[in-house]
Amino acid sequence: MKVLHVITSLGDGGAEAVLYRMCKFDKSNHHIVVSLKNEQKYVAMLKKIGINVYTLNFSNSRINIKGAIKLYRLIKKIEPDVVQTWLDHADLVGGIIAKLAGKKNIVWGVHHSELKRGESKFSTIFISRINALVSYLIPRKIIYCADESRKAQEKNGYKKSKGITVFNGYDCKGFIPNNVFASSFRKELSIENDSFLIGYVGRYDPQKDLGNLMDAFSILYKKDLKFQASIVGTKLDTKNSNLVSSIKTNNLCNNVHLLGRRDDIESVMNGIDLFVLSSVSEAFPNVINEAMLCGTPCVATDVGDSSLIVGKTGWIVRPKDPIALADAIIKAYIEKSSNSSSWMQRKAACRKRIEDNFSIKKMIKNYEKVWSSTH
C-alpha cells in the first residue's frame, strides 16, 4: 500500500521515533511523510533511508494556510491508499484536509494517555476535546499505542467502535546488551564499572515529573546509598537553572550528571545499571523498552502501559511518591549488590519480554491489518 503519514512534528519524541522505525523496517509498503512543522531531527534521518519528506511550516499558535493547501495538493497528487496521522494536531488538521481531498481511508494515531491541566499543554487538551467530537466523522479507525491511552480517550468522548490498540514496536537488533558501549559510557563520566549508576532518558516536561526523581535521589543521598545518576534528554543540561538549583539544594552535585540530548542512547542504556521513569503521565514509554532490550532493569511509575511493559522484570510504583520510588531503587541496589545470579536472570528476562511482545515486526503487521481492514 501507499501510505501517507501526517505528523505534527519530526522532533525528538516517542511517536516520531516509532514512525521512523516503521518507515525503516517496513519493506512491504511505500511510505511518504508530511510534517506540519519545519525540518527537525527525524527529517534528515528519514531522507537518509530514502523516504520522501515534506514540511508545511505550521507554527505552534496558528494554521499555515499555504501549508494546508500544500497538504491538500500533495494528497491529491500522491493518491495514497491510506492517510495515517500521528498526534492530536495532525489527527485534526491532517484528517480534515484528507477528508476534503476525498480520502476515506483515514487512520488516526493517538500517542498520549490522560491529559491534565497544569501537566499538559492547553492547546493539546483543547485539540483533543475537538478530536473527540469529530472522531465520529473523520477517521475510519483510531490506533492507540497503549491500552491506557485508549481507555482515557474513549472516556473523554472518542468513538469507541473505531478504537484499536497497537503497541509500539522496537528494533531488537538495534538495542542489544553491549559491554563495550557500557564501559565507554562509564569511562566518559569517570564512573567505575562497579559503581551503581541510575539512568533517566527523557525531556524536560511537567509530565516527566523530574521533581519526583530529584526528591527520590535526595532520599537515597540521606540514606547514604552510594549511587551515581546520568540524566539525558533535551534541556536536561547545565543550562537548565531549575534542575541545577534542585541538584544543589539536595546536595546532589557529586551524584547527578546532566548530560543533555545525546544520540547514543544504546550506549546510555547499556552503561547504566537501572533505568528510572518518574512520570505522572505516559502512554507507551519507548525508553523503558529500549532499556530492557539492553538488559537493563527498570523502576517505573504506574502510568500508561508501564506496568504492562515491565511485567515482573522490574518494579512499578505510584506516581508522585518519591519515597516509593527511592524504596524501589534501593531494592534494585540490594539485589545487584548481594545476588549477582538473580540480577543476571532479571537482566535476561528484561530483553526477552520485549523480544516476545513488542517487536517492530509485530507492530508493522498490526498496522497493516488496520490499514487493510479500512481500505
- Same domain? For 211 and 142 the reply is no
Q: What is the pTM of this model?
A: 0.87
- Domain limits at 76? 2-169+359-373
Q: What is the mean pLDDT of the chain?
A: 94
Q: Is residue 84 part of a domain?
A: yes
If asked whether residues 135 and 227 sit together in one domain, one would say no
pLDDT exceeds 90 at position 193: no
Q: Are residues 247 and 149 in the same domain?
A: no
Examine the domain organization and report whether 142 and 225 are in the same domain. no
The answer to whether 363 and 167 have CB atoms below 8 angstroms apart is yes
Cell of 9: 512534528
Q: Is 17 helix (H, G, I), strand (E, B) or coil?
A: helix
Q: Are residues 196 and 62 in the same domain?
A: no
Q: Is residue 200, in this structure, part of any structural domain at all?
A: yes
Query: Which band of pLDDT confidence, cut at 50, 70 and 90, is reported for residue 339?
Result: confident
Query: What's the structural domain count of the chain?
Result: 2
Residues 203 and 124 in one domain: no
Based on the domain organization, do 160 and 99 belong to the same domain? yes
| Structure-block grid coordinates of residue 34 | 508530511
Same domain, 221 and 260: yes
Q: Are residues 17 and 49 in the same domain?
A: yes
Q: Are residues 235 and 252 in the same domain?
A: yes
Is residue 174 included in any domain, yes or no?
no
Range 217-222 average pLDDT: 98
Q: Assess if residue 257 is contained within a domain.
A: yes
For residues 49 and 85, state if they share a domain.
yes
pLDDT class for 374, splitting at 50, 70, 90? low
Could you tell me the CATH number of the domain that includes residue 331? 3.40.50.2000
Whether 90 and 49 share a structural domain: yes
User: Which residue type sits at 54?
Assistant: Y
Taking only the tens place, the pLDDT of each residue in 130-163 is: 999 999 999 999 999 999 999 999 999 999 999 9
pLDDT (tens digit per residue) in 69-92: 999 999 999 999 999 999 999 999
Question: Percentage of the chain with pLDDT > 90?
Answer: 89
- The answer to whether the CB of 201 falls within 8 A of the CB of 298 is no
The DSSP annotation for 286-305 comes to HHHHHHHHTT--EEEES-TT
- Which amino acid would we find at residue 75? I
